[in-house]
């Protein structure tokens, strides 16, 4: 292993060592306000520097999310300088992932008639990016104006293909699926092109686990909440990536008569399902997300390939960020600590 690769591996593991502890999570769950959450993160965690310019007394949820995103971007830049070749693949993947998150964040606000609020949640690192105009996005009042704001991104053609007809509303679920399908396909192509051996196998495993578990949850939710909708609609939400779950097994889940039958197939016929143990239907999302978390954490600790370690770290950072946002949302809407705990991945 080259010196640069060794440094990259060591640094990514050192950064992983600064992750939130169980005590940090417990303390955050006991915060009463978003202001308290911000103050705790600033004074007791590795997020202190990222939140240095946040005013605790007047903090906005969007500002906190933007600061968390900026920290991830700076971490990527810090890691990528040790291996320029690997850094470029990682950078593009992370940038695409963050742009998708920004697009979906905007569309959620747009659908709720609150698009103007996006201005409070713009991460600094996306301001001025070629082809992605967050200021114009915050000012968009129609889907066409939204398209012009993202016209230079890799996702423009996908989003343009979902343009709204008169009287139509945004199909958020289909847009989300289409964007992540593009991301997974991009990542799979790059991994197959540039990696070999155990590194390639581990990276495809990270990608496959994420896409397959997401596909299962899409099918399960569809069976549970949209019983009247046909199999073809549910099938359109399955990612075209097979790693540990065969197409035959996905077909069985799609043909299942109920969410319960889908879950039984998942539990009995997939390697993931056999790890679930006792299933509480109310907490299924968290339990499935924890399966992914455990696999990524294992690679973070034991992989000797620096690129695998870095991707693992970035995915784990994303999970931690998502849990923090969940806590922020729960505190903001005065959800009980126990209920918030049931929705997060890290314990």
For 313-329, the pLDDT digits (tens) are 888 888 898 899 899 88
Residue 4 lies in a domain: no
Domain count, the chain: 2
Contact predicate 138/115, CB 8 Å: yes
Does 203 lie in the same domain as 245? yes
For 156-182, the pLDDT digits (tens) are 999 999 887 777 788 888 899 999 999
Residue 30 lies in a domain: no
Question: Can you give the pLDDT at residue 138?
Answer: 81
Q: Which of 212-221, 259-268, 273-282 has the lowest mean pLDDT?
A: 273-282
Q: 344: Cβ–Cβ under 8 A, 6 or more apart, which residues?
A: 25, 286, 323, 326, 327
Among 247, 279, 311, the domain boundary falls at: 279
Among 279, 312, 338, the domain boundary falls at: 279
Question: Can you give the pLDDT at residue 86?
Answer: 57
Residue 127 lies in a domain: yes
Among 151, 171, 194, the domain boundary falls at: 194
Phi, psi for 163 (deg, rounded to 5):
-55, 150
Domain range enclosing 219? 196-279
Does 148 lie in the same domain as 235? no
Tell me which residue of 240, 290, 250 sits closest to 270, measured CA to CA: 250
């Amino acid at each position: 292993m080259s010196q640069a690769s060794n440094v990259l591996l060591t640094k990514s593991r050192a950064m992983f060592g600064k992750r939130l502890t169980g005590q940090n999570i417990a303390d955050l769950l006991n915060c009463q306000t978003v202001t308290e959450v911000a103050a705790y993160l600033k004074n007791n965690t590795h997020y202190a520097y990222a939140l240095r310019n946040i005013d605790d007394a007047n903090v906005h949820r969007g500002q906190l999310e933007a600061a968390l995103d900026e920290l991830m971007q700076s971490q990527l830049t810090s890691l990528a300088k040790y291996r320029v070749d690997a850094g470029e693949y990682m950078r593009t993947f992370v940038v695409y992932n963050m742009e998708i998150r920004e697009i979906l964040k905007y569309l959620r606000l747009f659908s709720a008639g609150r698009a103007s609020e996006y201005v409070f949640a713009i991460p600094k690192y996306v301001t001025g990016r070629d082809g992605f105009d967050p200021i114009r996005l915050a000012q968009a009042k129609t889907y066409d104006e939204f398209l012009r704001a993202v016209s230079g991104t890799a996702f423009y053609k996908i989003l343009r293909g979902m343009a709204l007809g008169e009287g139509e509303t945004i199909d958020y679920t289909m847009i989300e699926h289409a964007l992540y399908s593009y991301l997974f396909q991009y990542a799979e192509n790059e991994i197959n092109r540039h990696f070999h051996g155990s590194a390639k196998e581990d990276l495809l495993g990270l990608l496959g686990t994420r896409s397959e578990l997401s596909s299962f949850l899409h099918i399960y939710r569809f069976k549970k909440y949209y019983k009247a909708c046909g199999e073809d609609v549910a099938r359109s939400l399955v990612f075209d990536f097979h790693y540990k779950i065969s197409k035959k097994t996905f077909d069985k889940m799609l043909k299942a008569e109920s969410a319960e039958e889908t879950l039984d197939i998942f539990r009995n016929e997939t390697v993931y399902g056999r790890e679930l143990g006792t299933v509480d239907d109310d907490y299924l999302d968290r339990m499935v997300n924890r399966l992914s978390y455990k696999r990524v954490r294992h690679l973070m600790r034991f992989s000797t390939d620096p690129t695998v370690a870095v991707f693992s770290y970035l995915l784990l950072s994303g999970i931690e960020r998502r849990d923090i946002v969940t806590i922020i949302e729960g505190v903001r809407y005065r959800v009980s600590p126990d209920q918030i705990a049931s929705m997060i991945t890290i314990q």
